[in-house]
Structure 1
């Protein structure tokens, strides 16, 4: 649950907006190979609009860096003409490291070039008041080399991606404000680069998961997300991200996606929980992990953690399941507001009940249709969808920050050859 009223935070200074540039040609080639591989160079040229000579040059550099490989030759149409040597993503190529900084723990991961999590593990944070930025980042910096040594199997690690909730400035690599952690203006990139020796990319987890859907999501979701998308994240932190034309909006103060105080109300007969903003019925106050644990205790179901509450729901415990169904309906009301506001091609819900319990996803969709002025029942299954990464959301969020940078400009991310 958000711990600071929206009006209580002073605005944070931010560097001037960066010039928006077209993605380098090597990035366009690499993404075409990801989408269509094994694929001939001539087809990549047609897909990207680059000249055949330019594509050949980019492929040579990507091959040299171990990002793509040559697949077995295929004959031309009807066996005529010169055989094609198609390109595909290197299955045993470099890995991206990821760190999602949560409230109680961080989730560390290694992910391959196709977005598949090779390894993930949780690193508990120190108990408050020892949960300082310095201590948490120190633990991360010490643990990441161990993770690489044990689980990378000798493969190169391109970069470390760091994702977390609330306000993050990716250009500066700074966590501007994370009330639940008590962090303000924390230079995550500078501290972790100096300590880990890896290039570090930093972003919000909602934006990172939007880009993960655009790169590696389920095919229908990936296609829709590249047109326009909203990602609604409901966890310990409640926030969102939205994109149009594959560009994810940050906002001039890195504040885009602040949905914690969307009004969703409560269920009939319930007593609303007071939000830190002073109001009642805010999405975070009613649906965050802290709120869920409070409702569980009130229902006579004391559990030690949110994970234990989820496990109980997955096991069919009726009170736990009822709480997740309630949460799904509240998230459905928020989804309706966001759909009416943005009219996205797809709205991706990142919430464990809706991702892993079909009844919860159904309840969320029905509530979204009931509350929306623009979403019809026939559209709900195509527009309101669960995360493509139901069992690796946090692991994917961290590594997606690094992989987005790699697929945008691979030659910058890997300036040296494998040798």
Structure 2
């Protein structure tokens, strides 16, 4: 029987093997004494961790890179093995889902997106698992170790979710994919997973508080505090039904913020003004020559900016990261958005503000953060018991 995963921690682990692996990923090729100096661990501890990582096929030695005059194995630089273990990362969206294959270096090796195949969890698991196997066929001989699912859901118990948008109640998502693909699976709410992706991709260490705000066809936020994603017991922060405030061009039907600034809300607002488009991308392309299309997009940016300012005023983060295509796909509207964030006065100064390093692939990277979580937390304990062949 396929072993089951525990709930993902979504944090930078303090386990010795995790710290060693993280340092090698960020700094490799790097020698063991350099890893020890960077992490504060003893050379002996680093030596034991690197030996275990070598045995698991996660890292490799690069003797040809030794400095002149250096002797002994500890001086041999080590780096992540580019042919090492892989994971399956799956993001299930309301209208679009994506499957990706990634490695322990946080590289997406291959990916494929499709319209979400209905709402039946068995059908979704069948079709996305079939895509995963087709992608894995291109990486024969490499070892598959774990899988992760990120989606807009509440975790009921580890691996099981309620998904209001898809009509799911207590669905065993981790088991559905683990049974089909044959490796353990973890599952996490996708905004918290996006916050974890920011840690995974951008931070060898992390101090302070970071607010992550996501906007597309879902609105949400998450907090990262000193390297750990906050996972509220009651579920993710809900922004969709916050009041909108005054609108001029967008269609406020009183259903809440998401109904106004979500992608479908913009398409509907455009239609109300005689602009026939099927997507926000089409609307943005038209905005170069159509003042009304431009005004609609500027107004959405302004409303989103007010939202970011409001949530920042409540949570008082040191920095804010904007995730999701509403922020990343159309950078020309970041100026009115940033201007609107400053309409909310913040004593002590505004937090640093930046767009996610994952850009328009945040869904893939969020799922990757879930897939790599157990390995990143304690690689030398997890990997020897989970290695299997992708072929």
| TM range, smaller chain | 0.7 to 0.9
Call closer, same or farther: CA 1:310–1:351 in 2, change over 3 Å: farther
* Counterpart selection for 2:223 from 242, 248, 265: 242
* Counterpart selection for 1:288 from 242, 259, 262: 262
CA distance in 1, matches of 2:33, 2:56: 21
1:114-153 counterparts in 2 under 5 A? 114-127=105-118, 131-149=119-137, 151-153=138-140
3-state secondary structure, aligned to 1:415: helix
Question: Does the CA contact (< 8 Å) of 2:98 and 2:114 recur in 1?
Answer: yes
| Bigger relative contact order, structure 1 or 2 (CA pairs below 8 A, ≥6 apart) | 2
Could you list the per-position Cα deviations for residues 41-78 of structure 1 after superposition, in whole angstroms to 9, with x for gaps in the alignment? 123223333322121111011112222222344338xx
Call closer, same or farther: CA 1:375–1:210 in 2, change over 3 Å: farther
**TM-score (norm: length of structure 1):** 0.81
CA distance in 1, matches of 2:102, 2:111: 9
1:321-340 counterparts in 2 under 5 A? 321-340=294-313
CA distance in 2, matches of 1:32, 1:224: 10
Per the TM alignment, residue 137 of structure 1 is displaced from its structure 2 partner at its CA by 1.8
The gaps in structure 1 that reach 5 residues or longer are 1-14, 276-281
Q: Does 1:48 align with 2:28?
A: no
- 1:227 aligned partner: 208
CA distance in 1, matches of 2:14, 2:304: 35
Question: Does the CA contact (< 8 Å) of 2:249 and 2:269 recur in 1?
Answer: no
3-state secondary structure, aligned to 2:105: coil
The gaps in structure 2 that reach 5 residues or longer are 1-5
CA distance in 2, matches of 1:240, 1:258: 8
* Counterpart selection for 1:388 from 327, 351, 357: 357
Question: Does the CA contact (< 8 Å) of 1:339 and 1:375 recur in 2?
Answer: no
* Counterpart selection for 1:348 from 318, 321, 327: 321
Could you list the per-position Cα deviations for residues 335-382 of structure 1 after superposition, in whole angstroms to 9, with x for gaps in the alignment? 111211222222111132431333211211111012242475xx56xx
**TM-score (norm: length of structure 2):** 0.86
- 1:256 aligned partner: 236
With 320-329 and 396-405 compared, the bigger mean Cα shift is at: 320-329
Call closer, same or farther: CA 1:16–1:246 in 2, change over 3 Å: closer
CA distance in 1, matches of 2:206, 2:294: 30
- 1:214 aligned partner: 199
1:2-401 counterparts in 2 under 5 A? 23-71=14-62, 72-75=64-67, 84-127=75-118, 131-149=119-137, 151-169=138-156, 172-176=158-162, 178-217=163-202, 222=203, 226-253=207-234, 255-268=235-248, 272-275=252-255, 282-306=256-280, 308-309=282-283, 312=286, 318-374=291-347, 376=349, 383-401=352-370
Question: Does the CA contact (< 8 Å) of 1:100 and 1:395 recur in 2?
Answer: yes
3-state secondary structure, aligned to 2:41: coil
What RMSD over aligned residues (CA atoms) do the two structures have, in Å?
3.0
